Amino acid sequence: MSKPHGGKLINRCVFRDVDLNDANVVRVNADRAEDIENIAHGVFSPLEGFLCRNDLESVLDDKRLDNDIPWTIPILLDLDEKELAGAKEGDTIFLTHENGMVSEMEIEEIYTIDKKKVAEKVYGTTDPSHPGVSMTFNMKDLIIGGRITLLKEGKKPFDEFLLWPKETRILFREKGWKEVVAFQTRNPPHIGHEYVQKTALTFVDGLFINPLIGRKKKGDFRDDVILKAYETLIQNYYPQDRAVLSILCTSMKYAGPREAIHHAIMRKNFGCTHFIVGRDHAGVGNFYPPYAAHEIFREFPDLGIKPVFFRSFFYCKKCGGVVNEKICPHRGDDIINFSGTAIRKMLKNGEVPPPTMMRKEVAETILQFDRMFVE
């Protein structure tokens, strides 16, 4: 099992009731509420709170925290003057969310950022059509750094699938898994995904399928659809003692290579030793070269989780099976790519995609839903 990132699994949960009547309370949005719970439960270890300026500068310039630990995505709390309501550095504020989450924050630093620089460094572009860039440009003007403490957990959907790092670590240990490979996803599985996972699993003890649940784009598959589809696939086609399905509540940033590192670090904290990086990992549109997320791992000899690189799998008529370009010499008309777009279109029309594309059971599970996509 991997050691947590930074050496120690962070636990900033101190559950207690608190009287918020005379307190300085700020309501945060769903993304920030998820960040808070992820920090508190150690998913973002070694972070204990939202980044202060020196860490942010270091993350932007060097892809590392100020203490040299690899870290690529800024975890920031942005507020406006009104929300801050006169709170100063050294003060304690309470951050709450409509799902019931309550947390406490010690304000260490209040500062401003150059949004253009942040966008350029994190996303490699300042094009506002990039969803991460537009999120950055829409941030409020004050950035608040400091340690948080989670006082009360918020209610979350699908919590029967929600495991925290301290839980997966015990789970992997109890299962006797020493080497665990993690698979990040935001889609229901087609045959290509299954081959990637099983190829990786062949060389380790266990597979950790970890879909991202959270804010999505219109047209994305709904979370319940993805979960049910995976349950069906695992029940029918995976050895039950070799695969675990559990969710991760955090939003996509679409930061491509930098986000691939972030995705790997989170899975290291769950105890995984290996992380699958596919084509255009965490990419969007044509903003990143298809294998940029492979290249970036070379910069981190000290990441502490091994990337497992895959190129796309496809069906080859000549080979008579599912292969990839490393093991099959055929191209052109001999091969059928797993097109997520084509599969989506068929499902949308109520059709079961061919078995070379998607398992029949998985397709039927998806087709049972009245609403498959985020509207």
Active site members: 186-187
Please report, for residues 55, 124, 208, the alpha-carbon distance to residue 61 in angstroms, rounded to integers and kept in the order given: 10, 12, 32
- Compose the 264-283 pattern: x for residues touching another protein by CB under 8 A, - for all others: -------x------------
**Residue 4 touches which of Zn ion, another protein, none (CB < 5 to 8 A by kind)?**
another protein
Check whether the bond before 46 is cis (ω within 30° of 0): yes
Q: Note whether 221 and 188 are within 8 A (CB).
A: yes
Q: Which is nearer to another protein, 164 or 313 (CB)?
A: 164
Query: Per DSSP, what are the bridge partners of residue 131?
Result: none
Could you give the CA distance from residue 278 to residue 260 in angstroms, rounded to a whole number?
A: 9
Question: Is residue 171 within the footprint of another protein (CB under 8 A)?
Answer: yes
Q: Note whether 35 and 150 are within 8 A (CB).
A: no
Question: Is residue 257 within the footprint of another protein (CB under 8 A)?
Answer: no
Question: Is residue 350 within the footprint of another protein (CB under 8 A)?
Answer: no
Residues that bind Zn ion (CB under 5 A): 316, 318-319, 328, 330
Question: Is residue 311 within the footprint of another protein (CB under 8 A)?
Answer: no
Q: Note whether 242 and 206 are within 8 A (CB).
A: yes
Among 106, 109, 167, 325, binds another protein (CB under 8 A): 167
Among 22, 160, 333, 375, binds another protein (CB under 8 A): 160
Which residue has tokens 């290579």? 257
| Segment interacting with another protein (CB under 8 A) among 96-104, 105-113, 132-140, 168-176 | 168-176
Q: Note whether 210 and 244 are within 8 A (CB).
A: no
Among 22, 302, 333, 370, binds another protein (CB under 8 A): 302
Question: Is residue 68 within the footprint of another protein (CB under 8 A)?
Answer: yes
Q: Which is nearer to Zn ion, 319 or 367 (CB)?
A: 319
Q: How far is the CB of 3 from another protein (least distance, A)?
A: 5
Could you give the CA distance from residue 198 to residue 179 in angstroms, rounded to a whole number?
A: 14
**Residue 317 touches which of Zn ion, another protein, none (CB < 5 to 8 A by kind)?**
none
Neighbours of 355 (CB within 10 A): 10
**Residue 166 touches which of another protein, Zn ion, none (CB < 5 to 8 A by kind)?**
another protein
Q: Tokens for 126?
A: 């300042």
Question: Is residue 109 within the footprint of another protein (CB under 8 A)?
Answer: no
Q: Which is nearer to another protein, 161 or 313 (CB)?
A: 161
**Residue 316 touches which of Zn ion, another protein, none (CB < 5 to 8 A by kind)?**
Zn ion
Q: How far is the CB of 327 from Zn ion (least distance, A)?
A: 8
| Segment interacting with another protein (CB under 8 A) among 161-169, 192-200, 258-266, 347-355 | 161-169
Q: How far is the CB of 225 from another protein (least distance, A)?
A: 20
**Residue 330 touches which of Zn ion, another protein, none (CB < 5 to 8 A by kind)?**
Zn ion
DSSP labels for 307-334?
EEE-PPEEEETTTTEEEETTT----GGG
The three-state secondary structure class of 229 is helix
Could you give the CA distance from residue 205 to residue 270 in angstroms, rounded to a whole number?
A: 15
Q: Which is nearer to another protein, 62 or 325 (CB)?
A: 62
Could you give the CA distance from residue 163 to residue 246 in angstroms, rounded to a whole number?
A: 6
Q: What residues contact 293, with CB distance under 8 A and at least 6 apart?
A: 256, 257, 259, 260, 277, 280, 281, 282, 283
Among 166, 215, 222, 279, binds another protein (CB under 8 A): 166
Could you give the CA distance from residue 184 to residue 248 in angstroms, rounded to a whole number?
A: 9
Question: Is residue 209 within the footprint of another protein (CB under 8 A)?
Answer: no
The three-state secondary structure class of 2 is coil
SS (H, E, C) 226-275: HHHHHHHHHHHHCCCCCEEECEEECCCCCCHHHHHHHHHHHHHHCCCCEE
Residues of this chain that bind another protein (CB under 8 A): 1-4, 7-9, 11, 57-58, 68, 160-161, 163, 166-167, 169-171, 174-175, 244, 246, 271, 298, 301-304
